[in-house]
Structure 1
């Protein structure tokens, strides 16, 4: 599943090609995504201008000014295997290319083999976008200045679940997916099964700091792939970062040399070093 850094790099990649562009056509080839695409959007978005892009959690957002002066936003989720890319206007659609935004000189194309993603319209006249049901329960953004160790500590006091599971939940802070949660906890020297409410303020400060560092490093790593969003083949995947623990079960720890261990938490694989991240009693 594309994580927050992948979504942010997607946004950065397409933004110069869609911001200020007029949508000549909104083509829906297959509306059967996780939630059905509203086919009325083919008329609503005709001649609409994409004013700017944004991101909330793992949602890519396209703000639109419509021809009838209506203002709205498209919430785009990439699901398990989706991607967006810029293609030339004459690029043939492939089997899983479900949606096109057609501009004068190019197209934005939504590709989703498993169709677990979504493209949802929110009319801003109805209310604030952050009050949309898909966004309402999301936690604070990791790069928000308000996300500090103190914030994490205060919002974790009533959470008895394991810290790895709490990070994945996304209702304290968004965007710390499975890969990055394992990496953050390794850097913080915190065992993934540690009860969230048992964390000290000092540990909470380390977690908040490392969340920002690890996610920003992933975004920076993805920056070199921005060119791939123009005439790309639509393939997506995680950035080829150097991981200390993720997907390295049985391999030596980069710090102490002992074997990395793997456990399953909330049906997701967790990787850690039992020596560098000792369990608390």
Structure 2
């Protein structure tokens, strides 16, 4: 395997709109090559976005390498620059790279203020998805408080894109009744420790308290959330909460997981 320490090669390319919509990504000696990140022409010119993309990918590569037990990393990436941005001697003409080839698109949100990263994924489990979408504000680090570190989030979305896996949490059923009669948070491993808390707001002020059991469902109230501890001894899946330090491969690619719950 090639040494991970060689670093990532970044190419800055001007736009090419034509071309097929097939990804050019290939895996060569454990490194992903020919990744294309396209900045949408609707994004206002800001060269800081280019620097932040480089930083995000560099951090993501290190995180991916660690999380997959030194199996994979990012080797080279092309960044497509809109033609309506000011030209630079650093920019090259693309050979075959185009917006339609883009694996990651940096584009304005469909709805103002909705900056949540996502992967366009309509395929079955195990099938590659279409592309990852990030907004400019997310790439620029303005949404880190809401969504966490951009490098870790990129790896989470990359697993959706390339491996066709799904999130390992269930927003529709965040808790379930375990065989021990204890209420458990829906998560890949019950070894992930944390607290169940509810935030209750009234009259402009909010308090955080312990969750209460719903007498009808025998589960926690609807406002209850599971907050994992930052430091864990148990391995955490990338697809559960990538912010946890003890990361590992997606549980669907590994050997064991909590078989009592469904994530889809």
If the length of structure 1 is used for normalisation, what is the TM-score?
A: 0.29
Greater helix percent: which structure?
Answer: 1
